[in-house]
Amino acid sequence: MNTADLGLPVDVPSTALFTDHYELTMLQAALKAGTAERRSVFEVFTRRLPEGRRYGVVAGTGRVLDAVENCRFDPAVLGFLRERSIVDAQTLDWLAGYRFGGDVWGYQEGEVYFPGSPIMRVEGTFAECVLLETVILSILNHDSAIAAAASRMSSAAGGRPLIEMGARRTHELAAVAASRAAYLGGFTSTSDLAAGFRYGIPTVGTSAHAFTLLHDRERDAFQAQVDSLGRNTTLLVDTYDVAEAVRAAVEIAGPELGAVRIDSGDLLLVAHRVRQQLDELGARDTRIIVTSDLDEYAIASLAAAPVDAYGVGTQLVTGSGHPTCSMVYKLVARAESADPTDPLVAVAKRSSGGKTSVGGRKWAARRLDDHGVAEAEVIGTGPVPDDLQDRQLLVPLIEDGRVLFREPLDVVRERHVAARANLPLSATQLSRGEAVIPTEYV
């Protein structure tokens, strides 16, 4: 089962080699030492939020489920490992039958998180869990970074639509994942057709400056676009003179002109001038879309401008300055033998430099104040306090290797809106600050 079961058209290929070399050498050594089958618990968390961020956004969970399910070592992959002498024959035989048969728990996709939050917990034998470290981290670090940037931008936009248009600013496959994460975080559409095809995200787009420059006159380009796409199209008006372009656009399309796009200049000033001109020409319903290297700060600065939608590219797909969330995947508990009935023993890294971790299989809950607003992320390894039983954040995602459920993106989008709304109001401030609620260990 994979995302195609939601009606999506593309299956995920084998993710067996989306890993680091040392995952396999650890596996080989553990098999030889007789420790590979020890029951183990790994957790994904981050020690800190990116500087200035007040909350994180869990994104990529659905892609992780696909990646785990599609981690298979087929003959071609095994042949590669054999030719390079990466692992020995015993390990190759073990890998040939690899199927993850453990359990995965995690924060629901779209939920918010904070430093120390056990965003995902992977349980099984050491051998089957250790192979998943790199692919899980690569997905969650990338997608959560994009979703966090998208969430901040959607807050700054104040309900105005946001268009994701960063495909040309990142790797072609990362662009598809970025579109998904941006949609989760509050964007309403994408320019990337592969994302629309893969995930059903609404796609939009009309023309670039090249289309205007192709024609002898700007008017000819506008006429051709209107003839082809209808009066409700969006015309790009900043190739030459904006005022002249707006006048020509309305003359050609009439007051039914859908929108004009501004891609350069002082967007605040130009938007006000264009709005005034459109109104004077009778095109009062024509919308104004602005693009041009926007981020959450630029979007916030345009809050008072007569802008109807924003198109964001570079800053979005690079996490608006924070392209990763610095999530890690750490062993926090393991048994002392391969006996499945052996109790788990908490383990943790002890080192200097801020890279310590807290051992033990953890639960997490979010404590609310009397007004229903989040006031603390509570994390523990013992019994869950009675008052937090119904506020637990981890849910089962995979049981005995079987994916329990998958969710449409619209459900995840709605969850994120609700999760963000339950945070203190200062969560949406763009000024630098600490996590909006503290993390407490009990």
- The CATH number given to whatever domain includes residue 221 is 3.20.20.70
Q: Looking at residue 14, what is its pLDDT?
A: 83
Residue 333 lies in a domain: yes
- Domain boundary (319, 338, 372) is at 319
Question: Is 234 found in the same domain as 106?
Answer: no
Residue 13 lies in a domain: yes
Question: Is 215 found in the same domain as 108?
Answer: no
Q: What is the pLDDT of residues 74-104, one digit of tens each?
A: 999 999 999 999 999 999 999 999 999 999 9
At 355, is the pLDDT very low, low, confident or very high (cuts 50, 70, 90)?
A: confident
Q: Looking at residue 163, what is its pLDDT?
A: 98
Total domains present in the chain:
2
Question: Is 268 found in the same domain as 218?
Answer: yes
Residue 146 lies in a domain: no
Q: What is the pLDDT of residues 313-324, one digit of tens each?
A: 999 999 999 999
Residue 291 lies in a domain: yes
Question: Is 120 found in the same domain as 20?
Answer: yes
Q: Which residue range is the domain that position 204 belongs to? A: 168-319
Question: Is 309 found in the same domain as 199?
Answer: yes
Give the position of tokens 């023309």.
207
- Domain boundary (319, 335, 368) is at 319
Residue 200 has pLDDT above 50, yes or no: yes
Q: Looking at residue 4, what is its pLDDT?
A: 47
Residue 154 lies in a domain: no
Question: Is 306 found in the same domain as 184?
Answer: yes
Q: What is the pLDDT of residues 9-54, one digit of tens each?
A: 445 568 999 999 999 999 999 999 999 999 999 999 999 999 989 9
Question: Is 285 found in the same domain as 343?
Answer: no
Question: Is 337 found in the same domain as 291?
Answer: no
| Three-class SS of 136-179 | HHHHHHHHHHHHHHHHHHHHHHCCCCEEECCHHHCCHHHHHHHH
DSSP for 110-132 reads: T-EE-TT---EEEEEEHHHHHTT
Give the three-class secondary structure for 241: coil
Residue 354 has pLDDT above 90, yes or no: no
Q: What is the pLDDT of residues 227-266, one digit of tens each?
A: 999 999 999 999 999 999 999 999 999 999 999 999 999 9
Q: Looking at residue 10, what is its pLDDT?
A: 47
- DSSP state for residue 4 in the 8-state scheme: G
383: which residues sit within 8 A by CB, 6+ positions away?
A: none
Which two tokens mark 342? 């052996």
Residue 382 lies in a domain: yes
Q: Looking at residue 11, what is its pLDDT?
A: 55
Q: If we measure between CA atoms, which residue out of 126, 129, 131, 132 comes closest to residue 338?
A: 126
Question: Is 48 found in the same domain as 23?
Answer: yes
Contact 120, 28 (CB under 8 A): no
| pTM, to two decimals | 0.94
- Domain boundary (319, 351, 368) is at 319
What's the CATH number where 434 sits? 3.20.140.10
Question: Is 351 found in the same domain as 310?
Answer: no
Residue 26 lies in a domain: yes
Question: Which of left, alpha, beta for 170 (phi over 0: left; psi -120 to 50: alpha)?
Answer: beta
Q: Looking at residue 395, what is its pLDDT?
A: 98
Percent of the chain with pLDDT over 90: 93
Q: If we measure between CA atoms, which residue out of 141, 109, 11, 110 comes closest to residue 69?
A: 11
Count of all residues that appear for the chain in the document: 442
Residue 159 lies in a domain: no
Report how far residue 112's alpha carbon sits from residue 119's, in angstroms, rounded to the nearest whole number.
Answer: 9
Question: Is 422 found in the same domain as 348?
Answer: yes
> Average pLDDT for residues 48-61, to the nearest whole number?
96
Question: Is 356 found in the same domain as 287?
Answer: no
Which two tokens mark 280? 């004077």
Residue 1 has pLDDT above 60, yes or no: no
